[in-house]
Amino acid sequence: MPTRYDPRIYQSKLLWQVWGLLCALVLISALSIGYFAAQQVASDARTAIEESLGHQVQLLKQLYDPLILERAALPVIQSDQRITILGPDGTVLSDNREDADLMENHRTRPEIIAASPPTASKTGLGIAERYSTTRQRDMLYVALALGSTATPTGYVRVSMPLTSVEQKVNAMRLQVNLLTVAFTFIAILIGLYFARRIVLPVLRMTQASVLMASGEFSLRLDEGHANELGSLAHALNQLAAGTEAKIQEVTARQNELAAVLQSMTEGIIALNTDQTVIQINRSAAAILNLEQSSAINQPFHDLSTARDLSEIVRLGFKATVPQYQTMTLGGRRIEVSALRLGDASVEGMILVLRDTTELHRLERVRTDFVANASHELKTPISALRGFVDTVIDDIEMPTETRRSFLVRSQQQIHRLASIVQDLLQLSRLDTSHGLDSDKTLVLNDVVHKVYLTKTLDAEIKQIQLTYEASPDCQQQTIKGRADDFALMFSNLIDNAIKYSDHGGTVTMMLSMTERGVIMFNVTDQGVGIPAEEHDKIFERFYRVDPARSRDKGGTGLGLSIVKHVVERYQGRIKLVSKPGQGASFSVTFPIL
């Protein structure tokens, strides 16, 4: 959401409520002011009319006073107002609207009484509103005594219909009402403007709060209002910024924790008090053969492969100390630790699964290796000891016999040296992880040198040793140490020569495969290897025929060395053999 945005302001109930309240206040105020203003205008208009009529009777008094005293003829003045002249006894002397002789005595008219002593006011005016029987309408009358107020010589009276007065008053009231309506309309528009200015920030804050509640904390509100709304917007922005920073921090920590959990080789499963899986890493999912995402939020006892762990989970929730158990799951040896979490902030259980299958196998291999190595070393050492003790004890031993014992002792020493040398080579290959990436070699050159060194061994045993390299691989290079590859090839060729009969043939070939890798193959015509022994012959000190192997001078470590070199340089080895049909070893390596 941008920092400034306009919600649907005119769909807001709050806007219309605030504006409606303002309109109500404006209307009430306008009606009240208009009413009182109209009343005041009407009152002022009536007063002005009465004053105007009062001025007229004052002027008429100045005209008629001399005429009454002289008993002269009274003129009839044409005017919009009705003008009546009365005698001191109320007799109508003149009227510009009616025949004076036909009019009755007006001595008892309210305006005449009000203008006569002793009820006359300081101004001497008598004012009355009443129905005129002569004119048959409501009239406004203003009368003034002629002569002196104490001894009037007559009366002058001016009147006008109240309809005229009302027309003038209504005209004034209409103007006032129109002005009131105009100002009210303007006030309502101004009220809408200010209501919008008040409501719009509130709506923005409301929408921002809703979005924050849904997890969107990157919002920022306009803080430009120099009032409480601006302070509230500032507070919300600070809240959003602080919450966003906290969430980012928590998310980063969660990601770090998740990365640590996912990178652990041990399986980790977190359960809540309901034994529902709330966290499981890849290792645990692999050990239990589960889909990691589908296991989350599932009851632990419903996971099919986890049912074997239900007992330790049950015990773990009851016990106050960690529970440990070793079991077999899917043919693998698993060590399980159950740690109950019961502090104030976290309750549940952590299961740690450790796959010790490989460790157990390596331990077994180590034990077998120690036993085999001890046995292999014990045999020549025992023989050597026997030979030496015999020679030492028998001083008179014939020279030929002594020589025979010494020769046999020398053979055992050579055998011990071979075993120790092979063990040192294996130790070096085990401890040197990774290939020498900076060194390259032409594999054909290495194979050819080994071929030349082994030719004499083959001739001694009357075996034909041949080597052939295809043209496309004679200059192919690979990464690695020449000594390692020479050691591997020597062991393969030695193995082929040793187990081939006199007059046999051992064939060496170097070629490129269809997959673009270089392959070395050595094939003999020896006794062959049974199929059930193919996977075992690469183990240390393993022999298909132990007695025959020892007779041929083998240490039982040659093929194990070959396997270590192949694995070290990301190669692959393949054996094809049947009893009585010889053996064919093929190793492949990636080229540069």
Interatomic CA distance for residues 582 and 259, integer angstroms: 52
What does the block give as tokens for 430? 């085990």
Interatomic CA distance for residues 376 and 378, integer angstroms: 6
| Tally of CB atoms within 10 A around 422 | 22
Interatomic CA distance for residues 575 and 544, integer angstroms: 14
Taking the complete model, does pTM exceed 0.75, yes or no? no
Mean pLDDT is highest, among 21-35, 76-90, 409-423, 554-568, for 76-90
DSSP 325: E
Q: Which helix (H) or strand (E) is 93 found in, with range?
A: strand 92-95
Helices and strands per DSSP (H, E), number in the chain: 13, 17
Asked which of 13-17, 19-23, 565-569 is least confident by mean pLDDT, the reply is: 13-17
Strands of 136-256 (E only): list them: 137-147, 152-161
DSSP 70: T
Closest CA to 354 of 330, 327, 376, 334: 334
Mean pLDDT within 42-67? 84
Residue 521 pLDDT greater than 90, yes or no: yes
Residue 553 pLDDT greater than 60, yes or no: no
Asked which of 112-126, 484-498, 564-578 is least confident by mean pLDDT, the reply is: 112-126
| Tally of CB atoms within 10 A around 121 | 11
378, 312 Cβ separation under 8 angstroms: no
Asked which of 228-242, 321-335, 521-535, 540-554 is least confident by mean pLDDT, the reply is: 540-554
pLDDT at res. 522: 93
pLDDT category of residue 547 using cuts at 50, 70 and 90: very low
Residue 562 pLDDT greater than 80, yes or no: yes
Residue 266 pLDDT greater than 90, yes or no: no
Residues in Cβ contact with 559 at an 8 Å cutoff, skipping those fewer than 6 apart: 491, 495, 537, 538
pLDDT at res. 433: 54
Mean pLDDT within 150-164? 84
Mean pLDDT within 232-257? 81
Question: What residue type is 246 in one-letter code?
Answer: K
- For 17, 311, 447, the CA distances from 181, given in Å and listed in that order, are 22, 86, 113
Mean pLDDT within 338-353? 76
pLDDT category of residue 509 using cuts at 50, 70 and 90: very high
Between strands 464-469 and 505-512, the pairing is: parallel
Closest CA to 572 of 590, 592, 584: 590
Helix/strand/coil (H, E, C) string of 291-308? CHHHHCCCEHHHCHHHHH
Residue 267 pLDDT greater than 60, yes or no: yes
pLDDT category of residue 373 using cuts at 50, 70 and 90: low
Decide: residue 91, CB within 10 A, 0-12 exposed, 13-18 middle, 19+ buried: middle
pLDDT category of residue 552 using cuts at 50, 70 and 90: low
- φ and ψ of 286, to 5 deg: -70, -40
